[in-house]
């Protein structure tokens, strides 16, 4: 009689839509953590240590260290590498592709701009003055080399320093930018879609004008 009662209870639980059988650990949480770490490293303006990553992700440091090892292994066959410098980490391009990257990011005055350069120029043109961390956050990738290229060709300029922590440099477009695109004023830039404009909205309004150090 007792066996029959047990069997009846088991059948009821399995057929109950609200019943969820225990799931085996398939490391899906670990994979999600790797993706989250990759996203943070992409938008970081420099190397990041385990502590700040663990705080941002709200997980123990040991989990971040383990996921970092798996992320590094998964990137070995891709164009991005996980670089470790002491206890700090950052994402870098694979050294074997340096020639390709140099050809992409270096352009002559008569050549067309790369997609990355156009993205950065658009962000600066519509949001100026803007800092590199803000540009990186919008694009989701590090924009340092692109900014250097645009500075070298005079399409953008350093227009001061932000009052935010670290006093990052602010960037604005130049008159050469207008000449390059055949514009006489910024007002001639095409209007942005309202949804896109809200995504690009700059929450930081306080900055110091003048020449940077």
Q: What is the CATH number of the domain that holds 144?
A: 1.10.10.10
Residues 44 and 146 in one domain: no
Specify if 23 maps to a domain. Answer: no
Residues 33 and 116 in one domain: no
User: In the listed set 44, 64, 93, which residue is the last one of a domain according to the structure?
Assistant: 93
Domain that holds residue 57: 28-93
Residues 139 and 78 in one domain: no
User: In the listed set 53, 68, 93, which residue is the last one of a domain according to the structure?
Assistant: 93
Specify if 16 maps to a domain. Answer: no
Residues 59 and 150 in one domain: no
Indicate the pLDDT class of residue 41, thresholds 50, 70 and 90. Answer: very high
User: In the listed set 41, 62, 93, which residue is the last one of a domain according to the structure?
Assistant: 93
What is the per-residue pLDDT for 54? Answer: 95
Residues 84 and 130 in one domain: no
> For residue 195, is pLDDT > 80?
no
Specify if 80 maps to a domain. Answer: yes
Q: What is the pLDDT of residues 7-27, one digit of tens each?
A: 444 444 444 444 443 333 334
Three-state secondary structure call for residue 8: helix
What is the per-residue pLDDT for 164? Answer: 83
Burial state string for 86-96 with b = 16 or more CB within 10 A and e = fewer than 16: eeebbbeeeee
Contact 66/30 with Cβ under 8 angstroms?
A: yes
Residues 163 and 165: their CA atoms lie apart, in Å, by: 7
Q: What is the pLDDT of residues 114-141, one digit of tens each?
A: 889 999 999 999 888 999 999 998 888 8
Residues 61 and 127 in one domain: no
More confident residue, 1 or 171: 171
Residues 56 and 149 in one domain: no
């Amino acid at each position: 009689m007792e066996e029959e009662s047990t069997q009846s209870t088991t059948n009821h639980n399995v057929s109950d839509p609200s019943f969820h059988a225990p799931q085996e650990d398939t490391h899906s949480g670990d994979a999600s953590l790797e993706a989250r770490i990759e996203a943070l490293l992409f938008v970081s303006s420099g190397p990041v240590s385990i502590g700040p990553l663990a705080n941002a992700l709200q997980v123990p440091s040991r989990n971040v260290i383990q996921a970092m090892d798996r992320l590094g292994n998964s990137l070995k066959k891709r164009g991005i590498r996980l670089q470790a410098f002491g206890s700090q980490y950052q994402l870098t391009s694979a050294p074997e592709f340096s020639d390709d990257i140099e050809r992409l990011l270096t352009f002559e005055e008569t050549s067309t701009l790369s997609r990355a350069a156009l993205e950065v120029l658009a962000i600066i043109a519509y949001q100026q003055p803007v800092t590199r961390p803000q540009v990186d956050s919008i694009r989701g990738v590090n924009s340092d080399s692109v900014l250097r290229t645009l500075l070298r060709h005079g399409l953008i300029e350093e227009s001061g320093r932000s009052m935010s922590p670290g006093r990052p440099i602010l960037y604005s477009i130049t008159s050469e930018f207008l000449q390059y695109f055949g514009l006489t004023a910024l007002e001639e830039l095409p209007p942005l879609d309202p949804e896109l404009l809200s995504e690009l909205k700059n929450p930081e309004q306080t900055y110091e004008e003048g020449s940077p150090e």
